[in-house]
Amino acid sequence: MPDSASALDFFQLFVPDNCIQNMVTQTNMYAKKFQERFGSDEGWCPVTAQEMKAFLGFVISTSVHRCESVLSIWSSGFFSNRSIALKMSQSRFEKILKYFHIVAFRPSQGSNQGLYKIQPFLDSLQQSFSCTFRPSQTQVLHEPLIDEDPVFITTCTERELRKRKKRKFSLWVRQCTSTGFICQISVHLKEGQGIDALSALKNKPQLHSLVAKQLCQNISGKNTIIFTGPSITNLSLFTEFSKQDIFCCGLLSTRKSDCTGLPQSMLVCTSTSAQRGQSRVMMKGGMSLISWYNKGHFRFLTNAYSPTKQGMIIKRKSGEIPCPLAVEAFAAHLSYICKYDDKYSKYFIFHKPNKTWQQVFWLSISIAINNAYILYKMSDAYSAKRYSRAQFGERLVRELLDLDDCSPTQ
């Protein structure tokens, strides 16, 4: 990308004009069909591509100003924003929001999946992620932090918690550990809507193995090293990946992991007291099972690192703690992803629609913007104008709204 590339140029690497034009076509088709069935809407006229860009800009602005209702832009309250509110009336925005669609009608074939209304957009987004960026050798499979998750909810007030609804889907990603770029996403609807629906989903190793295979289907034969959490780590999956030249390093948990085929002697805590940094290893072929002690037993399954090579974990209070190299690598790469998520999850779109497919859409748009900013920081454009993530988001909003002054506020 040239040094003159704008925030919109980077965003349109993932959401190009033809994608926006499809939103225009499908929205107009849905509005026409809706009015044929339920009666004409006198205030409606077909949406244009310029209006659709402005519509996206208004919703994306909630990630910059952190207001949960996009309609606050036209209010007289704290989150009002007259500088962009003049670009479109509130009534026109609400009309577009009412009819907005990615896929207006259920397809005749292959329509049994619940995400058919957004699947073409997800497929297009995935292809653009793959074509635009080549990630580092080390990547991680995990569920990114989003603001409905328990870790984030602890910071919310009781009133905000009552307003929030539990997500009806789970989102998994394959993420580059060197840059934070999300290379691939996988969305699954939750089967149950009861109190235990989320816990039931997390205790299904076959589902997590399926998710891992979907996320890694494009990296066979590239000698990639994948880091996984306890819900994905299992011997059968790692063995299958090794045949595809995908190497793994995962944390094991006797409660969350599928421990089939692993020696029980390594999964139980020994009666003798262990010292910090002490480890035991068992091997079978190229696979190693490591039990490492640091105020508790931590177990790792890997075929990516030699169990004989030693590493070091540096703690601020405890100093240096010896460990196998696999443990050091796992801790280093996962800590970067945690810092990345803590920083960039603050810029997810705050607009929360009721429909599940729209929730997935705006979340995927948030991921696309974060990926666009990562590419911006790696390009010559960042040397020309060093925008922060907040400034980049605000600039993108103004460019989508086609405002004359596109410089972000300080």
What is the β-pairing status of strands 224-228 and 138-142? parallel
Measured distance CA(299)–CA(311) in Å, rounded: 16
Measured distance CA(241)–CA(235) in Å, rounded: 10
Q: What is the pLDDT of residue 326?
A: 94
Indicate whether 76 pLDDT > 80: no
Indicate whether 162 pLDDT > 60: no
Q: What is the pLDDT of residue 226?
A: 96
User: In which band, very low, low, confident or very high, does the pLDDT at 405 lie, cut at 50, 70 and 90?
Assistant: low
User: In which band, very low, low, confident or very high, does the pLDDT at 175 lie, cut at 50, 70 and 90?
Assistant: very high
User: In which band, very low, low, confident or very high, does the pLDDT at 152 lie, cut at 50, 70 and 90?
Assistant: very low
pLDDT per position as a tens digit, 243-284? 999 999 999 988 888 888 999 888 887 766 778 888 899 999
Indicate whether 133 pLDDT > 60: yes
Percent of the residues in the chain that have a pLDDT greater than 90, as a whole number? 54
Q: What is the pLDDT of residue 182?
A: 94
Indicate whether 404 pLDDT > 70: no
Q: CB–CB of 372/133 below 8 Å?
A: no
What amino acid is encoded at 56 in this protein? L
pLDDT per position as a tens digit, 178-234? 999 999 999 988 764 433 344 444 456 678 888 999 999 999 989 999 999 998 999
Measured distance CA(62)–CA(55) in Å, rounded: 12
The strand order across the sheet containing 297-302 reads 182-189, 169-176, 138-142, 224-228, 246-252, 297-302, 287-293, 279-284
Among the listed ranges 103-117, 219-233, 356-370, which one has the minimum average pLDDT value?
103-117
DSSP output for 260-273: TTS-GGGTS--SS-
Top pLDDT among 10 and 106 is at 10
Q: What is the pLDDT of residue 190?
A: 75
Indicate whether 81 pLDDT > 60: yes
Indicate whether 106 pLDDT > 90: no
Backbone angles phi, psi at 3, to 5 degrees: -70, -15
Among the listed ranges 70-74, 292-296, 327-331, 340-344, which one has the minimum average pLDDT value?
340-344
Top pLDDT among 336 and 5 is at 5
Q: What is the pLDDT of residue 42?
A: 87
Paired strand residues for 250:
228, 301
Contacts of 22 (CB under 8 A, 6+ apart): 102, 120
Q: What is the pLDDT of residue 136?
A: 93
Q: What is the pLDDT of residue 200?
A: 46
Give Cα separations from 187 to 16, 113, 147, 200, 376 (angstroms).
22, 11, 16, 16, 26
Mean pLDDT taken over the chain: 85
The token pair that represents 152 in the structure block: 């984030």
Q: What is the pLDDT of residue 347?
A: 84
